[in-house]
Copies of this chain bind each other. A is one copy, B any other.
Amino acid sequence: MTGAPIALDAMGGDYAPQEAVKGAIRASRDFGIDVVLVGDGPRLKAQLADLGEKESERMRVCHAPEVVSMTDAPSVVIRGKRRSSIRVASNLVKRGEAAAVVSAGNTGATMAAARCEFGLAKGVERPAIAQVFPNRKHGTVVLDLGANVDCKIGYLVQFGVMGSIYASIVFQKRSPKVGLLSIGSEDTKGNEFSRSVLLAMREEPAINFVGNIEGRDVFKGDVDVVVCDGFVGNIVLKITEGVAAMVVGMMQDSLSSNVLSKAGAVLVRPSFRRLKKRMDYAEYGGAILLGVNGVCVICHGGSKARAIRNALKRAYDFAVSDIVEQITEKMEARRMVS
């Protein structure tokens, strides 16, 4: 697994292919990661040349004639654009020519391509998108962030198991604490669906379940994994981005409001930059699609070179870890028991 390069959907995202190619070059330089740039071949080669690079063993170009747009339906990769960059990149992983796929393109299409090429892990009903949210301790894994907008009870229990494995790897923790996102910590709190999920999660032996948690708890760091359905999760993700952007913006307005605070702002700038970095999704290297037989890292559509570089690093780290095998084993074992 370690030798194979990472396949990058170089046509996916708001700033593709420029920022994708730049990010790949940085990942190669900074971490020694080999990348296959998948997309419009001549354009990608020209892009490399513009940046003073050329195609090499460590930075290959793989031509894919089609591109999935942000407005395409996810199913387009299955029935329509089978030669699209995201589908071809995922296929490289399936064929063993790449160790993982990374894309900042259409999230639905990326999931569909990964699911179609990799297949679901045995015992998994639905894959889920997971990401580490910042907090004042090490971070919290939140899932599902949007793969499944209408969920059955069992899906969320499975998200808990997969999220727990993910957290055990990224936080190097033996028995991560798993909580269910609700509107109060008592068992009676929540809606009809969440209360049923709570009961089912209490019965799940594969997780260290702590019960209901509230929105505030995501950022306290008292739990390692927060489970919710994809509709709520996606709203939580975007609310978090929205609040952070607003606070940082207000802080900037505030610091330039008068001479004294302007002077102070110069002194606090390095601290401020560190803070912005901690809050910036680009630092977190994208989200991972859990439950498929391969590593798929999904980046924010607005990803620039730094975010792509970090996502390639994250994909590489997952590819050399045994996260896919662990999920397959545990989910298969659960299936045998039930």
Contacts and interface: CB of A to CB of B under 8 A. Distances in A.
Interface of A: 71, 134-136, 146, 149-150, 181-183, 186, 190-192, 194, 214-220, 228-232, 234-251, 253-255, 257-258, 260-261, 263-272, 274-275, 278-279
Nearest to A151: B191
B150 A191 contact: yes
A332 to B, nearest CB: 29
Interface centre among A230, A234, A239 (most CB of B within 10 A): A239
Q: Report how many copies the assembly holds.
A: 2
A243 B245 contact: no
Contact of A250 (B136, B229, B257): B136
Contacts of A134: 246
B214 A238 contact: yes
Contacts of A242: 215-220
A303 to B, nearest CB: 16
A278 to B, nearest CB: 6
Interface centre among A136, A232, A271, A275 (most CB of B within 10 A): A271
Give 3 closest A-B pairs by Cβ, nearest first: A264-B267, A215-B238, A264-B268
B245 A244 contact: no
B219 A136 contact: no
A328 B242 CA distance: 34
A80 B278 CA distance: 50
A13 B103 CA distance: 48
A81 to B, nearest CB: 18
A157 to B, nearest CB: 19
Contacts of A214: 235, 238
A138 to B, nearest CB: 13
A255 B236 contact: no
A247 B247 CA distance: 8
Given A246-B136, A248-B247, A250-B278, A190 B231 contact: yes
A190 B232 CA distance: 10
Nearest to A146: B183
Contact of A264 (B220, B248, B250, B264): B264
Contacts of A149: 183, 190-192
A270 B217 CA distance: 29
Contacts of A232: 231-232, 235
Interface centre among A245, A246, A272 (most CB of B within 10 A): A246
A218 B239 contact: yes
A68 to B, nearest CB: 16
A134 B191 CA distance: 27
Given A215-B239, A260-B270, 20 more contacts: A71-B186, A135-B246, A136-B246, A136-B253, A183-B230, A190-B231, A215-B241, A215-B242, A216-B238, A216-B241, A217-B242, A219-B245, A228-B235, A232-B235, A239-B239, A240-B243, A243-B244, A250-B279, A254-B274, A264-B269
